[in-house]
Amino acid sequence: MSADELLANARAIVAPGKGILAADESTPTIKKRFDGIGVESTEENRRLYRELLFTTEGAEKYISGVILFDETLRQNGTDGQPFPKVLQQAGILPGIKVDKGAKPLAGAPGEKVTEGLDGLRERCKEYYGLGARFTKWRAVIAIGDGLPSDYCIQANAHALARFAALSVENGLVPIVEPEVLMDGAHTIDTCFEVTERTLREVYRALRDQSVPLDQTLLKPNMVLSGKDCPQQAGPEEVAEKTVACLKSGVPEAVPGIVFLSGGQSDVEATVNLNAMNKIGGVPWQLSFSYGRALQAPPLKAWGGKAHNAAATQKAFLHRARCNGAARFGKYTDALEQEAA
Ligand code: 13P
């Protein structure tokens, strides 16, 4: 596998003005989303919904890559073309979630470790053959009484580094995702401290395992107040603290940072990304890899009805466009209002 291909793909994913659509919900997670709009989660409904997103005309101006779930990578569009090909033809890189989910971490009540390393080399080879060019692995770190433990952070960092090394070995750009959850009543400063500790440990593990950082991307949480914290930080503080935390924890060699939305509303996720890009002055591209923040409006517009196809795509394109503007710090209320 050539390093040049990995470098070029990593840079293409974080090309200015563009970001990632995370459409890699596992079967139980997409069922939850479909339950929310009263649609049965059948394989065909999942295919139909995702096809609407993937074939939205103009989305390729703002979307550089789409993260798929195993089932979706193997599905075809209505015209019979495999989804990875549909995306490639639109100039969008297909990616694949390769982790097998966060499971209880033995000996650490309330904490989790992400599984999926066994057989990963073979799966990466197969995914490359099916057209995937990047991978994602999500680790979750919970904040709570005495949590996270160093043990939990280390176990997850080690797994993230093993995943990253195997992805690079097989020509796939790894998106390293250590998510510090926003659940809880903690302050933004606690989130800062835990995120910094986590990032440092993740990059220690990546270096220990000789992962070439310039061929990887980071998908972190933003530094936010806990969901139930009475003192909610505004976008300027979130942006300042997130940028400071990244400067302290992320090596310059990493080409880009693609934030997760993690339970922020769609508009909050855009406003916060915009505020960070207004600050600027960082060595990495600051981009997005949003699931819920890109999909909540189109999912609602769709409601499982074929006659809502145009409205679904319009809602998706609008969020993509707003986040594309936030990549330059140029998102405005006026742009937000243009939805109608
Ligand atoms: P959210 O943006 O909904 O957090 O999803 C992104 C993702 O891919 C989580 O792994």
Model confidence pLDDT, tens digit, residues 28-57: 999 999 999 999 999 999 999 999 999 999
CA 33 / ligand 1 centre spacing (Å):
13
Instruction: Provide the CATH number for the domain around residue 158.
Output: 3.20.20.70
Please give the Cα distance from 85 to 56 (Å, whole number).
15
| AA identity, residue 317 | L
Candidates 331, 286, 338, 332; CA nearest to 315 is 338
113 bridge partner residues? 103
Mean pLDDT, residues 179-184: 98
Asked if the model's pLDDT at residue 340 lies above 60, the reply is no
**Contacts with 111 (C-beta within 8 Å, 6 or more apart), sequence order:** 104, 105, 142, 147, 148, 149, 151, 152
For residue 280, what are the domain limits?
A: 3-337
What SS3 state is found at 95? strand
Confidence of residue 20 (pLDDT cuts 50, 70, 90): very high
Mean pLDDT, residues 167-174: 98
Please give the Cα distance from 47 to 53 (Å, whole number).
10
* Residue 177 known to be catalytic: yes
**For the chain, percent of residues with pLDDT exceeding 90:** 99
Asked if the model's pLDDT at residue 175 lies above 60, the reply is yes
Mean pLDDT, residues 185-206: 98
Query: Is there a contact between 221 and 268 (Cβ–Cβ < 8 Å)?
Result: no
pTM of the full structure: 0.98
Q: What is the pLDDT of residue 339?
A: 76
150 bridge partner residues? none
* Residue 219 known to be catalytic: yes
The alpha carbon of residue 255 and the mean position of all alpha carbons in its chain are separated, in whole angstroms, by 15
Cβ of 321 closer than 6 Å to ligand 1, yes or no, is: no
Please give the Cα distance from 297 to 318 (Å, whole number).
9
Q: Is 254 left (phi over 0), alpha (psi -120 to 50) or beta?
A: beta
- How many domains are contained in the chain? 1
Q: Which atom of ligand 1 is nearest to the CA of 177?
A: 10
Among 25, 177, 179, 201, the active-site one is 177
Task: Show the DSSP H helices in the chain as ranges.
Answer: 3-13, 27-36, 43-54, 70-73, 83-89, 120-129, 150-169, 188-208, 235-249, 266-279, 292-302, 309-326, 333-337
Cβ of 176 closer than 6 Å to ligand 1, yes or no, is: no
Which tens digit of pLDDT belongs to each residue from 111-140?
999 999 999 999 999 999 999 999 999 999
Cβ of 297 closer than 6 Å to ligand 1, yes or no, is: no
Q: What is the pLDDT of residue 1?
A: 67
What SS3 state is found at 139? strand
CA 160 / ligand 1 centre spacing (Å):
16
